[in-house]
Amino acid sequence: MFMSETAPEQLLTTHDGRSLKVSLARALRREKLRALFLIAPLLIFVLLTFVAPIADMLFRSVENGIVEDTLPQTVNALASWDSGSGELPGEPVYAALHSDLLVAVKEKTHTRLGSRLNYEQTGISSLFRKTGRRVKRMDDAAPFKEQFIAADDKWADLSTWQTLKQFSPRYTDGYFLAAVDAERGPDGIEMKPADEQVYIYLFGRTLLLSVAITISCLILGYPIAYLLAALPLRTSNLLMILVLLPFWTSLLVRTSAWKVLLQQQGVINDFLVWIGLISNANRLVMINNQTGTIIAMTHILLPFMILPLYSVMKTISPSYVRAAKSLGANDWTAFWRVYFPQSVPGIGAGAVLVFILAIGYYITPELVGGTSGIFISNRIAYHISSSLNWGLAAALGTMLLAAVMILFVVYDKIVGIDNVKLG
């Protein structure tokens, strides 16, 4: 019995006597390695330009090692101090601060630490700069506590030491709390005063305007795509050039053109006054507000809605509509019951594409949005380029990425990602 079961297997060999199973596995392994070698440049490019920046952003949103690296002895001394006791730290903490500042001033890192903590409490940056100029003149024989307080009375302020202890861990949730207009106080996490809350409102405005831009692109893009798909190929190709023409023009040029068109003394207002639709004293305000943002971004993102719609509509056979009409349906019923359902995949693809692009835009809102039409991305750009609060910018970017992913999952549950097609 054993010989009868193994005999056929012994016959499955290659010409050189090797097992066919082993040879096939080796050939398959070589094919996989060859395929991996071919895609390796693209994989490395994606890792360096996409995955690595996202990972760095996630790390920066919680990283806070500058306090511990600059004031290591002070951090250790503050570990045994109760910040809720209402009393200032003892002499050992001030002595540790003196030793750390001597090294920090020599390495010129105390100013960076002050700039970091100044995001949490105003005035700490100037405190560290002022103390850094006087720490070398302090007397080692005298109590350091009195000397620090004499150098600047903020060292006698309990909130200064509470901020130091709160942000002494290497990792912090402070950036994410600030990104939702909250802060960690002596009594725990609490919301900032109403007049200081900015980011939650900006997140809501960003989502609302992105949805409005997506809807406006759909309303304008669907008839255009339908017309392009219904016209003869020669004519549709000619009109498609007009759709693609904005891609050949700089984004800044197009946005600047809208500033000229939408301003109160611009072309649109002049035309409306000329035809008598509005009076010269009641010119429309369409720039530096949400209206300007929606109009300009709809124009810029409209091709991204038209192209997916056109590619899907081009695959819809006209015979379906003709069959519906031959069975007694009128034009509207044939369109709504037969044609429109087949174009839904293109609507889904265009809506996802436009929404994701809109939610991360910052150039156009910055130029035409004013104070009421900017997005959360404009604040991210501000913290990266102006305030240099990269931790808060990373936290805001992480939350924006999470919001997009959540909305994408919700869209998949409601519509279905399988219904998103590009033709």
Cβ partners under 8 Å of residue 94, min gap 6: 143, 144, 145, 147, 148, 155
Compute φ and ψ for 63, nearest 5 degrees: -75, 135
Q: Which of 159, 66, 152, 146 is nearest to 114 (CA)?
A: 66
Residue 182: beta bridge partners?
A: 191
For residues 268 and 317, the answer to whether their CB atoms sit within 8 Å is no
**pLDDT in the model for residue 423:** 53
Question: 268 by DSSP, 3-state: which?
Answer: helix
Phi then psi dihedrals of residue 59, to 5 deg? -70, -45
The helix/strand/coil state of 182 is: strand
DSSP label at residue 292:
H
What tokens appear for 309 in the block?
């719609």
Which residues, listed in sequence order, are joined to residue 183 by a DSSP beta bridge?
A: 190
Q: pLDDT 10s per residue in the chain (423 long)?
A: 444 444 444 556 666 667 777 778 888 888 888 888 888 998 899 889 888 988 998 999 999 999 999 999 999 999 989 887 888 999 999 999 999 999 999 999 999 999 999 988 889 999 999 999 998 889 887 889 999 999 999 999 998 998 899 899 999 888 999 999 988 876 778 888 888 889 999 999 999 999 999 999 999 999 999 999 999 888 888 888 888 888 888 888 889 899 889 998 888 999 999 998 888 888 998 888 999 999 999 999 999 999 999 999 998 988 998 999 888 889 899 999 999 999 988 898 899 889 999 998 888 999 998 888 889 999 999 998 888 889 999 999 999 999 888 888 887 777 666 666 555
How far lies 174's CA from each of 31, 120, 191, 312, 333, in Å? 50, 8, 12, 47, 57
| Alpha helix ranges (H) inside 85-181 | 91-107, 110-118, 124-134, 144-151, 158-166, 174-179
Q: Per residue in 378-404, pLDDT tens?
A: 999 999 888 888 999 999 999 999 988
Q: Is the pTM of this model over 0.85?
A: no
Q: Give the chain's count of helices (H) and strands (E).
A: 22, 2
Convert 330-363 into a string of H (helix), E (strand) and C (coil). CHHHHHHHHHHHHHHHHHHHHHHHHHHHHHCCCH
CA-to-CA distance for 176 and 327, rounded, in angstroms?
Answer: 60
Give the pLDDT score at 10.
52
Which phi and psi angles does 169 have, rounded to 5°?
-60, 155
- Confidence (pLDDT) at 2: 42
Give Rg (Cα) of the chain. 32
- 67 touches 161 (CB < 8 A): no
Kindly report, residue by residue over 224-260, the tens digit of the pLDDT.
999 999 998 888 888 888 888 888 888 888 898 998 8
Q: What is the model's pLDDT at position 9? A: 47
The Cα 341–Cα 420 span in angstroms is 12
Q: What is the largest CA-CA distance in the chain?
A: 104
